[in-house]
């Protein structure tokens, strides 16, 4: 918002100006302007701001060298400002080498080296444009104390505005009146036309005026409200899985008859995620000693455990089948993943039947194979071949995680069948993190959601220079293989194509053979929606899908009315019960009154 002379209306606010302010809506005036290239450049500078502690600063500084220079300048300026009273840093006064504004709508970033994945980073929130005046507005004294911050009240150019932000109750998005109005797409993937997802081709978006996200503290009321039509879409929890979904003898998923009768639809997708059980490669038992023979024995031990832990059974029992057993760190749908026989982990599985997934299937190797590897590792029947000492494997976890009783019992059973003793070591979260950072854990359960659809964002989790203990990176297994690391450095700078696929195949083969992880499963996302919700398509990587969705309001109103007709017979039954309880008492009271009256008349006549 600006004054008549063009200056910002709400800059230089005093304590008196803010005394009655409790939310962004307490500022009467608002304003808008078009997006400029300078807004993008301003946000890139913010990555180096010492107050913000951006989690991608170190990574981006490798490719935008000017970031480190700017960070040093801002840190020195901040220290000087603190000594003089703490003035806010003005990023406009500092240049960022390698990033420049060309004109109002163009800017240039010059990278050091090749990094094709940088295009994905540009589409993530770290690079969302931030106007300079927004930074200055929220940086004023007294704003943060009132939750008036950019992370609480974002400013942007999207189809919706956040008009109510109470995460403990509800959040409300309203249509942005200044939105540019994108047309609905006319092209899509195979099957989109048949699914009716392209029927609104060319129509201006968004279609919905107001989006309300409510927090339900209990699962049962939330599920009942969805079934009554008061929520348009819902996930599927374990408690409601059998009510919503049925599984065929072939493991195929379908909606239950009750859901189909209501016109509810089921959307499924495989998440770009991997859940894994990591081996700490610094552990002398699981990682091996310095000699090649010791490392070979430890590798066979990891392979034996990888075969013995039946992840298909785990997914069936604890996830209601909502997971795909993992063959490598790369989920299906990400470049580098294979289907059918070419995609299996040959150390843990063997292929049965035809070459494709339609004609064949992966079969987990037998427990006899795991026992053979365990014996070759020097632990026949789970005991040291030389000393007879039992093999004890410890799972480090936090309470409420994989250490829950049922899952721990299942794991113990799997290890016991192999002849190995299994111990769960639960600790609080901070202590668990210390164990991981210091390399004191042995076995641990982790997961990773891909930030962008590229194998580099998953394979880096086992890159040696990302080791947790040595470099405080994301490689919690502390795995290091010189050949893998060399291939990773080549692969990450290559565009997708046959040459890159060949390198990825070799990297995956190394991981499958070395087995630093048990590639547990890739989760499946299940979502339910009512028939009046249109243009909704699952996508774990895409976050801006609300603008595409449309609602058939009349159909929703009719369904709510039909599903929530007042049921009056219980009231009539209660009334009859109450009448049945009252009637005897009333009759008894009347008989007593009449008897008392008759007795009174007789006594009176005698005295007369």
From CA 146, how far away is CA 23, in angstroms rounded? Answer: 7
Q: Compare 489 and 83 and report the one with higher pLDDT.
A: 489
| Strongest mean pLDDT among 48-57, 153-162, 344-353, 503-512 | 503-512
pLDDT digits over 391-404, tens only? 999 999 987 655 57
| pLDDT score at 597 | 64
| Strongest mean pLDDT among 245-249, 502-506, 534-538, 590-594 | 502-506
The β-bridge relationship of strands 443-449 and 421-426 is: unpaired
Give 591's pLDDT tier (boundaries 50, 70, 90): confident
| pLDDT score at 357 | 66
Which string of DSSP letters, residue by residue, matches 214-280? E--SSHHHHHHHHHTTSSSEEE--TTTHHHHEEE-TT--EEE-HHHHHTT-EEEEEE-SEEEEEEE-
Closest Cα to residue 314, out of 415, 411, 447, 420?
Answer: 411
303-312, 498-507, 581-590: least confident range: 581-590
Give 95's pLDDT tier (boundaries 50, 70, 90): very high
The overall average pLDDT reported for the chain is 90
Burial of 47 (0-12, 13-18, 19+ CB in 10 A): buried
| pLDDT score at 601 | 58
Burial of 500 (0-12, 13-18, 19+ CB in 10 A): buried
Give the CA distances from residue 601 to residues 70, 591, 594, 606, in Å, rounded to whole numbers and listed in that order.
110, 16, 11, 9
SS3 (DSSP) at 402:
coil
Question: Half-sphere exposure of 514 toward its Cβ, with a 13 Å CA cutoff?
Answer: 25
From CA 157, how far away is CA 129, in angstroms rounded? Answer: 9
| Strongest mean pLDDT among 88-102, 136-150, 417-431, 497-511 | 497-511
Burial of 160 (0-12, 13-18, 19+ CB in 10 A): buried
Output the pTM of the full model. 0.83
- Judged against a pLDDT cut of 60, whether residue 484 lies above it is answered with yes
- Judged against a pLDDT cut of 50, whether residue 442 lies above it is answered with yes
SS3 (DSSP) at 314:
helix
Inter-helix orientation angle 311-318/405-417, to 10°? 160
From CA 269, how far away is CA 539, in angstroms rounded? Answer: 7
Give 292's pLDDT tier (boundaries 50, 70, 90): very high
| pLDDT score at 608 | 37
33-42, 251-260, 320-329, 493-502: least confident range: 251-260
Q: Which two tokens stand for residue 595?
A: 């008897």
Residues 6+ positions from 4 with CB-CB distance below 8 Å: none
Q: What mean pLDDT is predicted for residues 340-345? A: 92
Q: Give the burial string for 119-150 (b: 16+ CB within 10 Å, else e).
A: ebbeeeebbbbbbbbbbbbbbbeebeeeebeb
14-23, 235-244, 305-314: least confident range: 235-244
Within 340-404, where are the H helices?
Answer: 367-376
- Judged against a pLDDT cut of 60, whether residue 466 lies above it is answered with yes
From CA 515, how far away is CA 366, in angstroms rounded? Answer: 17
| pLDDT score at 607 | 45
From CA 363, how far away is CA 252, in angstroms rounded? Answer: 18
| pLDDT score at 132 | 92
3-state secondary structure 114-157: CCCCHHHHHCCHHHCCCCHHHHHHHCCCCCHHHCCCCCCCCCCC
From CA 554, how far away is CA 532, in angstroms rounded? Answer: 9
From CA 473, how far away is CA 460, in angstroms rounded? Answer: 10
């Amino acid at each position: 918002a600006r004054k008549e002379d063009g200056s910002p209306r709400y800059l230089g606010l005093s304590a008196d100006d803010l005394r009655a302010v409790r939310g962004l809506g307490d500022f009467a005036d608002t304003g808008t302007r078009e997006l400029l290239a300078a807004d993008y450049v301003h946000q890139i500078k913010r990555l180096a701001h010492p107050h913000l502690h951006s989690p991608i600063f170190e990574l981006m500084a490798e490719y935008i060298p000017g970031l480190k220079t700017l960070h040093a300048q801002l840190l020195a300026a901040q220290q000087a400002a603190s000594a003089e009273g703490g003035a806010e840093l003005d990023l406009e006064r500092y240049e960022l080498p390698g990033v420049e504004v060309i004109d109002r709508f163009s800017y240039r970033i010059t990278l050091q080296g090749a990094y094709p994945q940088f295009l994905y980073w540009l589409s993530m929130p770290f690079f969302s444009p931030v106007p300079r005046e927004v930074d200055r507005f929220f940086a004023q004294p007294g704003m943060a104390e009132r939750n008036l911050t950019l992370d609480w009240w974002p400013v942007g150019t999207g189809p919706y505005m956040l008009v109510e932000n109470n995460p403990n109750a509800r959040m409300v998005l309203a249509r942005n009146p200044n939105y540019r109005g994108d047309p609905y797409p006319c092209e899509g993937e195979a099957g989109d036309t048949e699914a009716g997802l392209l029927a609104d081709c060319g129509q201006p978006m968004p279609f919905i005026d107001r989006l309300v996200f409510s927090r339900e503290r209990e699962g049962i009321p939330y599920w009942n409200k969805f079934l009554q039509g008061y929520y348009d879409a819902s996930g599927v929890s374990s408690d409601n899985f059998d009510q919503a979904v049925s599984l065929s003898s072939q493991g195929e998923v379908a909606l239950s008859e009750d859901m189909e009768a209501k016109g509810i639809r089921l959307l499924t997708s495989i998440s770009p995620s991997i859940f894994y059980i990591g081996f700490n490669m610094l552990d002398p038992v699981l990682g091996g000693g310095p000699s090649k023979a010791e490392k070979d024995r430890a590798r066979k031990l990891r392979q034996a455990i990888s075969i013995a832990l039946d992840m298909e059974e785990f997914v069936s029992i604890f996830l209601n089948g909502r997971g795909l057993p993992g063959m490598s760190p790369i989920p299906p749908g990400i470049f580098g993943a294979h289907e059918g026989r070419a995609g299996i982990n040959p150390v843990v599985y063997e292929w049965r039947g035809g070459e494709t997934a339609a004609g064949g299937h992966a079969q987990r190797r037998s427990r006899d194979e795991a026992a053979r590897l365990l014996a070759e590792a020097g632990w026949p029947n789970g005991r040291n071949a030389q000393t007879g000492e039992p093999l004890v494997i410890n799972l480090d976890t936090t309470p409420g995680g994989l250490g829950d009783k049922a899952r721990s019992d299942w794991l113990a059973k799997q290890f016991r069948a192999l002849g190995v003793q299994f111990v769960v070591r639960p600790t609080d979260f901070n202590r668990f993190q210390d164990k991981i950072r210091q390399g004191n854990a042995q076995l641990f359960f982790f997961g990773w959601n891909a930030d962008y659809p590229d194998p580099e964002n998953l394979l880096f989790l086992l890159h040696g220079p990302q080791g947790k203990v040595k470099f405080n990176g994301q490689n919690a297994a502390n795995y290091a293989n010189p050949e893998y690391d060399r291939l990773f450095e080549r692969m990450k700078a290559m565009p997708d194509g046959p040459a890159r696929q060949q390198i990825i195949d070799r990297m995956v083969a190394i991981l499958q053979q070395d087995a630093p992880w048990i590639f547990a499963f890739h989760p499946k996302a299940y979502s339910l929606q009512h028939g009046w919700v249109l243009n909704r398509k699952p996508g774990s990587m895409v976050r801006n899908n609300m603008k595409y969705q449309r609602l058939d309001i009349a159909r929703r109103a009719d369904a709510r009315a039909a599903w929530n007709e007042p049921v009056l017979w219980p009231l009539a039954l209660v009334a009859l019960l109450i009448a049945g309880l009252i009637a005897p008492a009333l009759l008894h009271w009347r008989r007593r009154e009449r008897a008392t009256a008759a007795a009174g008349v007789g006594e009176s006549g005698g005295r007369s």
